[in-house]
Structure 1
């Protein structure tokens, strides 16, 4: 048995826009995903209903309890809580209070993410992440959420995947608000630096507010970053150093370099291009002490097969339904490199795979590929822990199939199948496999 610590946080995750639906209910206003997605989403679907978690959250938490989750990571919809400047939507806020109550009663630790991509359209119309004013707006929003939930929520994440919502949203047109840039490489970096500064200052403000206002003692604060990942396929000293350098190389990685975000957040050190605009005082504010390094990780870029530089992908290599390479070893190398550089305990805040899941003749959803995927990735994570890397938990993405951003509803990442026509939930085979792993606290050899 590959045993994990008894305190290990076995979890699963979702995000507000991806599961809640209820677009126009109870005072919610539009996010950038509501308002700018038309024409950008595969098969012209939208987030108006998705899984209807807003109405079915009690049923969903009951499934989580059956699964035996130790933790559940959710995010709060900013436009549901603050539909316009200075206005707190009590009905929207009550939804999250009810959700947290349900989780606590089920014995599940709530993990709250303050920002997971669904920027209010009213904030975007004022300049969004490009306008420093967003720091004031985020401060007001975060204060409202913290005051409402911090008597029951101990674990917090300030920001989810800024590499995507800034890099893909403001420069590559792949995510909302679907903006693109034709600037030179040098100017793109400088523009990225100014937008990123606003994100980083919001992170710092979030950390400060949680420390000051939490009603529970000793709140646990982190973030949920993602980045390009590289594994040492040649395990010589030179091969390991090459992989490590590539993971943190800003010139190659743009916003997807781990160091672009984490160096300021954790080390108080500005990377190139940001060192021209961040003062010493701002860096101190951004790099307030954190309790863990949250990381979303799916694959190693060595094998992606679509990078400009040569990589190690081969024709027909194992890939998920979205085309991502299946590289379990990334859950050994990435935690190792991140801990070496940042010295924070690691929390895997997302990991999982999209699979060709459908209801079969027996009425069940059989997903042996996902079971094998999770076994391989968890085995690699276990190896890292055996070598002394402190990992406090693993969070499967996702608890249920959901709206996968610009890919729409085609990719199915869930441990629970969702029939979007009827909203019926069906636990997949991987649900029951993961339940057994949680019960036994480890993996059978």
Structure 2
């Protein structure tokens, strides 16, 4: 569906005068992830990851695309950081590629570590806040060969990795996130096979999730010991569910959608228990939980990262679950996802009410894909401009309703490898020509930079 012209204004990014976004202490940043932009998968001692394996498997990724080159950020990071500076953002969220910094025996790979040390040092030179994610899905393949997130031993391997990187970057990182979107790693990787490693078993998904969250808890303990001056947290993707009709059955279906999408992750972290409704939805999939596990998983957080993209409309399947019913006549992105900013506001307010121990929140990803093209040297991405403006307004509304949201990261800094969708779906505010690697500021980037320049001048 085309964007309604009514949502595009003549000044399409600057927020109202009373918006939180004008506050200098509200962090506005941009985000990326290692496998999606770096390329150089065989250089300087980097080992294969599960996404190297998965994307090289015919039929797994659209058009047979892989991350072998991606945005060639491994070689172009200095000029990419100049673009980041031109965007005038306050911070940058990046991830470290686990296969790039350790070998199979757990020994440090100095060339890989030094790459990230250079990145972090340059970001600090530029005065940017540095948010580092330890795991954004690129698990070393040798660990998957041993069972991956199904093998409890991975908890200790992840703690070892967290120990190495937090010692190497001590005092240089403002905020550490242990995991990005464990829901995707567990469900898409082990439940429905849409992501690497491509397994399809409900019990696998819940056991993988348990080990992911347990690894998170262990890593927080390590990070807290090694780098006490930084924030420690985790990033969860959340989704809004709506009922197809006013029936009790459909209302329960929408509830179950949010249980499996949100509470499956947030309840263990913030309540130290799994939601029992999850096992109504997926009977017989309870993970093996050992004594002390939930205490470790529930280790207090300094912040919670929230990634939000869309709403899902569902109806009861007549049994113990739900079926998606796409709404007609709604605005959608290139991904086919409904644009629904109110969902972000409602979820934030709901979490604030449901979790008394809710830590401060950063929106660590929010953005949209569109089929952007360079025409006469320009990229006019009006829908993205409107999308970002409306979602930032939703965040502002949540803050005014009492939710402690301290920042927002646009996904993404640049177009990149979009996992199972390859290079077709473009999320960046900077356009990347994948044949020439030329970067072009989209109109959204120009307006973001303009707003932030004005905000900074007011400070």
TM-score by length of 2: 0.86
Deviates more, 1:26-35 or 1:269-278: 269-278
1:111-260 matched pairs, under 5 angstroms: 111-181=131-201, 188=202, 190-214=203-227, 217=229, 219-230=230-241, 249=256, 252=257, 256-260=260-264
Unaligned residue ranges in structure 2 (runs of 5+)? 1-16, 280-284
Cα drift, residue 170 of structure 1 = 1.1
Match of 1:90 in 2: 110
Correspondence for 1:77 among 94, 97, 106: 97
CA change 1:439–1:280 in 2 (3 A) is farther
Correspondence for 1:24 among 12, 37, 42: 42
Whole-Å Cα distance in 1 between the matches of residues 26 and 346 of structure 2?
A: 20
**Structure 2 residue 410 is matched with structure 1 residue 410:** no
Q: How many residues align?
A: 421
Cα drift, residue 416 of structure 1 = 0.5
Cα drift, residue 279 of structure 1 = 4.5
CA change 1:328–1:441 in 2 (3 A) is farther
Given that 2:243 and 2:313 are in contact with CA atoms closer than 8 Å, whether structure 1 keeps it comes out as no
3-state secondary structure, aligned to 2:452: helix
Match of 1:339 in 2: 352
Cα drift, residue 36 of structure 1 = 2.4
**Structure 2 residue 289 is matched with structure 1 residue 278:** yes
TM-score by length of 1: 0.89
Whole-Å Cα distance in 2 between the matches of residues 421 and 312 of structure 1?
A: 35
**Alpha-carbon RMSD:** 2.5
Whole-Å Cα distance in 2 between the matches of residues 49 and 157 of structure 1?
A: 25
Given that 2:244 and 2:325 are in contact with CA atoms closer than 8 Å, whether structure 1 keeps it comes out as no
Match of 1:185 in 2: none
Whole-Å Cα distance in 2 between the matches of residues 90 and 329 of structure 1?
A: 46
Given that 2:243 and 2:254 are in contact with CA atoms closer than 8 Å, whether structure 1 keeps it comes out as no
**Structure 2 residue 279 is matched with structure 1 residue 263:** no
**Structure 2 residue 374 is matched with structure 1 residue 359:** yes
Cα drift, residue 271 of structure 1 = 2.8
Given that 2:88 and 2:453 are in contact with CA atoms closer than 8 Å, whether structure 1 keeps it comes out as yes
Unaligned residue ranges in structure 1 (runs of 5+)? 182-187
3-state secondary structure, aligned to 1:12: strand
Whole-Å Cα distance in 2 between the matches of residues 392 and 137 of structure 1?
A: 32
Cα drift, residue 283 of structure 1 = 1.2
**Structure 2 residue 449 is matched with structure 1 residue 435:** yes
CA change 1:401–1:270 in 2 (3 A) is same
